[in-house]
Amino acid sequence: MNILASTSFIGTTGFANHAQSFFTALDNILPIKVRNSTIGDSWKGYSLTSHDKESYITDQMKNMLVLQTLKSNNGRIDRPLYHHNPNFTPDIDIVLAEHNNHYFYNDYKGYKIAYNVWETDKYDSTFFNQLKTFNELWVPSEWQKQISIDQGYPEDKVFVIPEGVGNEFTPGNNPKGKFKILIAGRWEHRKGTKEAIKAFLDAFPNNKDVELILCVDNWVNQDNLDSTENRLKHFNLEDPRIKIKSFLTKEKYIKLLQECHVFLSSSKAEGWNLPLIEAIACGTPSIYSKCTGQLEYTKGKGLGVNVLEKEPAPGFPGNYYKVDTDHLVKQLQEVYQNYDFWKDFYLKWSTEIREKYSWENAAKIAYNRLQQIKKENQPALNVHFVKEPYVKLIGGIGEYKVEFINKKTNQILFTTNLRPYHWAKTYHSYFIDWKIIVKDLDGNIVNQHDYNASGKRVYVSLGSKSLGDTLAWFPVVEEFRKKHNCTLIVSTFHNDWFEKNYPQLEFVAPGTNVENIYAMYQIGWFYEGDSGKVDYFKHLVDFRTLPLQKTASNILGVEHEEIIPKVTFERGNRPIKEKYICFSPHASASAKYWHNIYGWQTVVDYLNDKGYKVVQISKEKYSSSFETTKLPGNKQIKNVIDATGLSMEDTVNYLSHCELYIGVSSGLAWLSWSVHTPVVMVSGFSSEWTEFTTNVKRVINKEVCNSCFNNYRLDAGDWNWCPAHKDTPRHFECTRKISPESVIERIVDYLV
């Protein structure tokens, strides 16, 4: 997951120490990027590498630092640092800053964590309300957690992420020389600096073997006293045994902690008290006040000093604690008198402190919480199967792996990585029993969706206007509805043929915008653009190798079974009293025609001789000279009854009463089959299994070229399309070589 820390990273303040130590340790576990608000002593103006001269800067820190916040005439702006990536989008923002810092008031898009260290028992109300806008609050101690809850922060949104102590703080050699007591930190009222110095003077009024070392200079001169010397004089605390150490380097500071006999802290309130835990880590006997955040690691141990009643915190909301100075004096005398005991005690305690409160452990606690956040914020899924399977992650933290799996084969057909509110889809538009699995990057399944259309709205669109395609494909739609128990909406170019007999389907016109649907499928023959290659994202197999009706079965994932559609045409009165047979020589492509020049006339004459009326039906008019040019030899077929150019209802009526229909591979053959009239089909254009196989007899000549429809892409714009032999003597030999005698042979069985 992408994490951005907004903090005061640069500098040597307590907050900078916290930020540097904590976030670099966390960066060792998962990558952290830092947005920094402070500058250090080496600052010479903004550049990409502004902080290179800071003495403590490391390559790791440079890799972490990506933004520098600066003031400008237009307010604060963020400028890039080091390896800034403009495409970086944080999943989690962590703001670690002091009370009321401007970073807490910025707008963060992802999951946001406020990490604050506070000393009094109450936050400023405006700031506290701002903290409540964050997803959760991190604090370093159970004490601060409780005061946050007491003020109204939701208990389940406050988490203790302790501070730590650096690995460099370790015991040194036993102190030598005079008994040295160290006070380190800022000189300020909250730190109880004045009270601690006075306690030293009261505990050892005339003991020249004891020294007090002060490392308490302030970076900011808030009291106008300028220096520690001036403050001692101002408060009448001067004593020759008091030694001042000003602005030590970190190395000299650690050495001082190791060389002093005692560390003294009498704070009225602490968020954590870094100097105290650093002293304990060095094995230095340390006196502390038993209150606030430092109890996280000191409670019940060591040289604690009692506190009395609360007192108002000057300039801040809430209260500090008043330290029992009499007890403080006694604890100073106790450690002096029993130093060997307390030194041994603190050396043992230092091992525990360094193990339990290392920055690495603090980072692990934070990492575990971040992982828990990810678990608690697993993405919901917006899934549909409208044309193609689609999934969008709603919420979540970080990046996830998404797998589109065919449940039938257990094959992963597509995989990708997604971030929250991003989406993906495959281009497979035919039915697959999908399982969509979302995993975190550790491989754990965090969510999944199994295809289930039951009770949902599904839209099926038949893309062909042709009579045969519509009649072939439509009944499969109803089978899909029954299989999935769904609400099925269907569009065809001939809805009126089916509406009455399929009351459980919802019919809409082609092009209708159908809303609130779970899935959508389009039935048709689909190629890759203008090529002759089948689009296998829209078809499971090459549709040309299947029966026409199985095109729909394969796209809809329904087991293929030849089904006659229930058309809604009303059967009228018999149009001809005598026995009659219908035929049609016409079709949508010349390749479908029976190109034997004597074929149709021979068959018609034969039927007339047998006492049958022969009725020519088609939308192409018998009397049209143009339509006649499509026929072999450009000749009308003689001795037939003209029933061409009629309405669909009248044509169906002729078909439903006739003894037999004879035709080519065309829609009228499918229509005859749909009204249960026997069919004799003359076709070399398609293999004998291509159309329907029940209530039909096929006539094909396998000795010549045949079945181009099942091997090539039909060029509907080329009337004389013949992919293998166009403009050669073999042009249309597939039907030219079908004799009228072979057709009559198939007809005989139907004659009474």
Based on the residue annotation, tell me whether 469 is a catalytic residue of this protein. Answer: yes
Secondary structure class of 520 (helix, strand, coil): strand
What dihedral angle (degrees, nearest 10) is formed by the CA atoms of 105, 109, 115, 116?
10
- Bridge partners (DSSP) listed for residue 181: 212, 262
Separation of first and last alpha carbons in the chain: 81
Q: Which of 93, 103, 114, 98 is nearest to 37 (CA)?
A: 103
Beta pairing class for 696-699 and 506-508: unpaired
Cβ 607 vs Cβ 740: under 8 Å: no
CA-to-CA separations, 31 to 353, 368, 371, 726, in angstroms, rounded: 27, 14, 13, 68
Cβ 548 vs Cβ 721: under 8 Å: no
Whole-number Å distance between alpha carbons of 18 and 24: 10
Secondary structure class of 27 (helix, strand, coil): helix
Neighbours of 69 (CB within 10 A): 17
Whole-number Å distance between alpha carbons of 27 and 29: 5
DSSP state at residue 296? H
CA-to-CA separations, 631 to 1, 239, 340, 634, 699, in angstroms, rounded: 72, 127, 121, 5, 19
Q: Which tokens go with 694?
A: 């029940």
Cβ 472 vs Cβ 689: under 8 Å: no
Where do the DSSP E strands lie in 410-462?
A: 411-418, 423-425, 434-440, 445-450, 457-462
450, 469, 609, 749: the catalytic one is 469
Cβ 709 vs Cβ 544: under 8 Å: yes
Beta pairing class for 506-508 and 613-616: unpaired
Instruction: Please identify every residue annotated as catalytic.
Output: 469
